[in-house]
Amino acid sequence: MDLAIFGLHLSGVSSLLGAMNFSLHEFVLSLKTLSFELMDNKYYLSFTFGFPFVSEGKDKSKSEFNNNSGKDTQRENGTPERNNKPKFDLKWKEILGRSGPNKHSHALAFEQLNSSQVVTANKINEILAYCNITTTDEKLKDLLNTPSFVLTDLNRKSIIKEILKEKLGLPHSKQRVPGIYIFTHLTTGRKYVGSSSELALRLNGYINLTHRESGLLIPLLKKENFKNFSLQVFPFYNNYIKGSEIVLEQYYLLDPSFTLNTIKVANNPSGSNARSLYMYNRDMTILYYNSTQQIDFIRKFNIHHTTFTKHLNNGTYYLGKYLFLREPLLTAKVKDMSDSDLALMLSKDRIKFNKKKK
């Protein structure tokens, strides 16, 4: 009698376990984030309480159920699900001057130098994207046809200065002539290219040897007292567009013969270690402006250098609304504003901010 009662209990428990087995099987198949192993035509799911759940089933590939591979999971209709990755504003590629998140302008310049390919406007635009300067093949061709004049016997400084005065005017004069200049070491053929928005001031600094001694050119000029050097100057009198001197300088920097230039990206005096500056809104969802030089924020937007430095170093908000950082936040949307519109907006915010302080 006892055995009969025990048998009834055992059959009840068996039925209950069978129901649990079926329910759990349906539950597991609905989960696509769990990992299964296929073994002997069965699925084994390891639980924390130490025993495997076993279910008969048809052959399935392990990858169909495994979501740990990092690939897109599959919907039941066979189409891949999209990963919930943040969307980046495509303008960041231009701002950073990179063809990828870690590719700097200097790397692009050296790639071009090593490729021996023809320098195009597109390549120059990629490299100069960090300072928002662009050109076209037609404009580049026009710049390359800029008339120039060549000076030799550079050690005859008084004569050279008179010629520069006639061609470019005096340093600090109201009429400033922008352009580029090329020093050539006649013995070795090594060259140096530079640009300036005020050629008279820059070139007189070379002739008087008042520029800071750095790089390869100035020590060589001092050592040889300008002997064995020629100077070719390309002044922009009529064909000047803002940034033209930077574009033409960058073109020549990508010429392998310019070995006296230690930095291969124009308008970047800090070299490959230069860090850009960014102006965001408070929650860093909008990028208003960026530059590699603090002076741009000071001159263009009338921000005092002490004020700018204080907010940059302390992480505080300028006018209670804007944050200055050295890091690019790729999730921020790039605001399409001209410098003049941004300057006007800051001027209005400055008035409001000062009224609240009173």
Q: What is the pLDDT of residue 175?
A: 81
Q: What is the pLDDT of residue 33?
A: 39
Residue 47 DSSP one-character state:
-
Q: Edge to edge, what strands does the sheet with 52-56 contain?
A: 37-39, 42-46, 52-56
Q: What is the pLDDT of residue 3?
A: 57
Contact (CB, 8 A) for 200 and 168:
yes
Q: What's the gap between Cα 283 and its chain centre?
A: 21
The string of pLDDT tens digits covering residues 79-116 is 444 455 555 566 666 565 544 434 577 778 888 998 98
pTM comes to 0.52
Q: What is the pLDDT of residue 8?
A: 59
Q: Using alpha carbons, select from 348, 267, 354 the residue that is nearest to residue 301.
A: 348
Joined together, the tokens standing for residue 100 give: 């990828």
Q: Which residues pair with 242 in a beta bridge?
A: none
Contact (CB, 8 A) for 260 and 183:
yes
- The pLDDT profile of the chain, 358 residues, written as one tens digit per residue, is 565 565 656 666 666 666 666 555 555 444 433 333 333 343 333 333 333 444 444 444 333 434 444 444 444 444 444 455 555 566 666 565 544 434 577 778 888 998 989 999 999 998 888 778 899 999 999 999 999 999 999 988 899 999 999 999 988 887 889 999 999 999 999 999 999 989 999 999 999 999 888 789 999 999 998 889 999 999 999 878 888 999 999 999 999 999 999 889 997 644 444 567 899 999 999 999 988 778 889 888 999 989 999 999 889 999 999 999 988 888 899 998 898 999 999 999 999 998 887 6
Q: What is the pLDDT of residue 64?
A: 40
DSSP helix/strand/coil, 346: helix
Q: What is the pLDDT of residue 67?
A: 43
Q: What is d(CA 122, CA 254) in angstroms, rounded to the nearest whole number? A: 13
Q: What is the pLDDT of residue 191?
A: 96
Q: What is the pLDDT of residue 295?
A: 82
Q: What is d(CA 46, CA 36) in angstroms, rounded to the nearest whole number? A: 9
